[in-house]
Amino acid sequence: MGNNMRFAVGASLLLCACLSISPSAVWAEDPYLFFEWKVTYGTISPLGVPQPGILINGQFPGPKINCTSNNNIVVNVFNQLDEPFLLTWHGIQQRKNSWQDGTLGTMCPIQPGTNFTYHFQVKDQIGSYFYYPATALHRAAGGFGGLQVHSRDLIPVPFDTPADDFSVLLGDWYNKGHKALKKALDNGRSLGRPDGIQINGKSKLGGGGADQEPLFTMQANKTYRYRVCNVGMKTTVNFRIQGHTLKLVELEGSHTVQNVYDSFDVHVGQCLSVLVTANQEPKDYLMVASSRFTRSPLNAVAVIRYANGTGPASPALPAPPPETAAGIAWSINQFRSFRWNLTASAARPNPQGSYHYGSINITRTIRLVNSKATVGGKDRYAVNGVSHVYPDTPLKLAEYFGVQDKVFKYDTIKDDPAAAGTKDVVVAPNVVNATFRNFVEIILENPEKTIQTWHLDGYSFFAVAIEPGRWSPEKRKNYNLVDALSRHTIQVYPGSWAAIMTTLDNAGMWNLRSEMRERAYLGQELYVSVLSSARSLRDEYNIADNALICGIVKGLPIPAPYTI
């Protein structure tokens, strides 16, 4: 079957699958989707230059996962590379199940020549997501693909079913292989400027004749859904389609107020869905992706063809938004225009707006400031003066086996960077100890001259404000406490700050990281440990039976399991 996917429909088969992977994972009444993926090297040419890429089942980008809210996803990953490998499921909350998150803080990597079976549920989620390699700089070579979570049939969607559903994975690209890029960082050098932008694994700088293969084909007068994700390494990309407007309907799992735009800034790690109606002259049109906030512009185009169209696309590309300070103001204003659709249902039948986050008392404020430093003659990136480094034992395993004191210290950073009392950067595992079910406010402050994008695993959060300058408590009067979007990534512009709010109701070990892979690889990330004192399966699942064990916990007896 396509993508080696099978549907398990018998109750006994579902039970067997559940028991073989984790006795506590999820309930059997929700459908299962099974995949078998072989991860290999293969020659790819996103920018026209042949280079070794990471393929999944021979595909670049990798296979798309189409699933429905509450489905159980079982993916057997065979690592046929020459390096350890992990996939992370970007934006999937892994409710009670950080064991499957696919980060080096929660899982041992899959060693070359071995396999591991992920088993997770897209619990109470809908929307547009993607997966990618969390190890080394593998994302620079591919290994990423779309992950789409559809609403259940009984849950109303606030727009008519589109004629088709298109996945657009775009982002900056380097012609150097991932090993060369990693070596550069390990030797204290920067990744430098990307070589171009790819759209679904291909790139063309302009034009679009009748002989050019279209990326997508539309029927006149029909409406299509485009799910656009920035899977790049460091560059914000502006997305637009020649001659067509874009109606925003979903962003990172939230239905939005359906405003119409000419283009979107899509920051690294972010996904959104737009509706495009084929209401123009039947011919070819160009989808355009261009870099933002870079010294030299990068562009790529792809052809969108009308069925039975009669002409090529115009060579005149739609103009991008402004750059420099005016461009940042334009982008901030676009962020502020994104609003939660309070009357629409998401994964559950109740309206999104029935959750009144603005009336919840804040129990903790954590202010995080990113910085760049030189340690031992090499670049490092830090959060509140700590540059994260991974120990040989995943943080979650160390904590679960009760040997965390031998692996890391909690709260190396302070909630307020001004309280740290030093500008020296410490290179160490960075783990924040948090209280289960607390409602927290996190301030992300960026004093640097480059844009940042942050992502939080395990949760969605309310992005209540972005403003220039430094944050202070008085800034709370400017928060959107009514209809801010619930999402999992947030951009922070140069010399600016962003405020997010969330309830820490998902027990586990969760990664808060820069989505700029260079910065995360060199330390701009941390983990939030959220433990339930009840040690109950109501709050967190037990470690999976097939979990990979490594580091100092290898050979130790498994702790007593959680119970109801």
More reliable by pLDDT, 19 or 100: 100
Dist CA 274 CA 241 (whole Å): 11
Phi and psi, residue 20, nearest 5°: -70, -20
Task: Quote the CA–CA distance of 149 and 235 in Å, as a whole number.
Answer: 26
* Span 245-286, pLDDT tens digits: 999 999 999 999 999 999 999 999 999 999 999 999 999 999
Secondary structure, 3-state, 66-118: EEECCCEEEEEEEECCCCCECEEEECCCCCCCHHHCCCCCCCCCECCCCEEEE
pLDDT for res 206: 64
CA distance 255 to 232: 24
* N- to C-terminal Cα separation, the chain: 38
Spell out a b/e string for 106-124, using b for 16 or more CB atoms within 10 Å of the CB, else e: bbbbbeeeebbbbbbbbbe
pLDDT in tens, 501-513: 999 999 999 999 9
Tally the residues of the chain.
564
For residue 340, the one-letter residue type is W
Using CA atoms in the order 212, 216, 220, 221, what is the torsion angle rounded to 10 degrees? -150
Q: Are 156 and 283 in contact (CB under 8 A)?
A: no
**Average pLDDT in the 188-213 region?**
86
Q: Are strands 196-199 and 216-218 parallel, antiparallel or unpaired?
A: unpaired
Residues 98-122 have pLDDT tens digits of 999 999 999 999 999 999 999 999 9
The whole-number average pLDDT for the span 330-342 is 98
DSSP one-letter code for 484 = P
Per-residue pLDDT, 349: 86
> pLDDT (tens digit, 9 = 90+) per residue, 383-399?
999 999 999 999 999 99
Residue whose C-alpha is closest to residue 98's, from 552, 540, 553: 540
Chain centroid to CA 412: 26
Query: Which amino acid, one-letter code, is at 79?
Result: N
Q: Which two tokens stand for residue 230?
A: 């920035």
Buried/exposed 269-278: b ≥16 CB within 10 Å, e otherwise: bbbbbbbbbb
Q: What is the pLDDT of residue 21?
A: 42
Q: How would you label 361-385 residue by residue, b for 16+ Cβ within 10 Å and e otherwise?
A: eeeebbbbbbbbbebeeebbbbbbb
Q: How confident is residue 301, by pLDDT bands cut at 50, 70 and 90?
A: very high
- pLDDT value at 22 more than 70: no
User: pLDDT-derived band of residue 421, with 50, 70 and 90 as boundaries?
Assistant: low
Q: How far apart are CA 179 and CA 206, in angstroms?
A: 30
Quick one: 161 exposed, middle or buried, by C-beta within 10 A (0-12, 13-18, 19+)? Answer: exposed
Looking at residue 25, what is its pLDDT? 43
Who wins on pLDDT, 154 or 224? 224
Cα three-residue angle 423-426-429, rounded to 5 degrees: 140
pLDDT over 60 at 417, yes or no: yes
Above 60 in pLDDT, residue 20? Answer: no
Average pLDDT over residues 408-430: 87
Phi, psi (5° rounding) for residue 139?
-60, -25
Report the distance separating Cα 520 and Cα 191, nearest Å: 13
Q: What is the Cα–Cα distance from 324 to 137, expressed in whole angstroms? A: 29
The CA distance from 488 to 469, in Å, is 23
**Model confidence at 211, in pLDDT bands (50, 70, 90)?**
low
**What's the pTM value of the predicted model, to 2 decimals?**
0.94
pLDDT at 476: 98
Which candidate, 409, 367, 370, places its Cα nearest to that of 529?
Answer: 409
Task: Provide the pLDDT for residue 29.
Answer: 79
How far is residue 338's CA from residue 246's CA, in Å, rounded to a whole number? 13
Q: Band the pLDDT of 209: cuts 50, 70, 90.
A: low
In this predicted structure, the answer to whether residue 56 has a pLDDT above a threshold of 50 is: yes
d(CA 407, CA 391): 7
Out of 18-32, 177-191, 425-439, least confident range = 18-32
Q: 3-state DSSP call for residue 440? A: strand
Burial class for 281, CB neighbours closer than 10 Å (0-12, 13-18, 19+): exposed
pLDDT band for 362, please (50, 70, 90 cuts): very high
Say how far apart CA 197 and CA 389 lie, in whole Å.
30
| Residues contacting residue 253 through CB under 8 Å, at least 6 positions apart | 91, 125, 126, 127, 128, 129, 149, 346, 460, 486, 487, 488
Q: If pLDDT is split at 50, 70 and 90, which confidence band does 15 have? A: very low
* Cα gap 39→60, rounded to integer Å: 11
Contact indicator for 253, 269 with CB cutoff of 8 Å: no
Considering the chain, what is the average pLDDT of its residues? 93
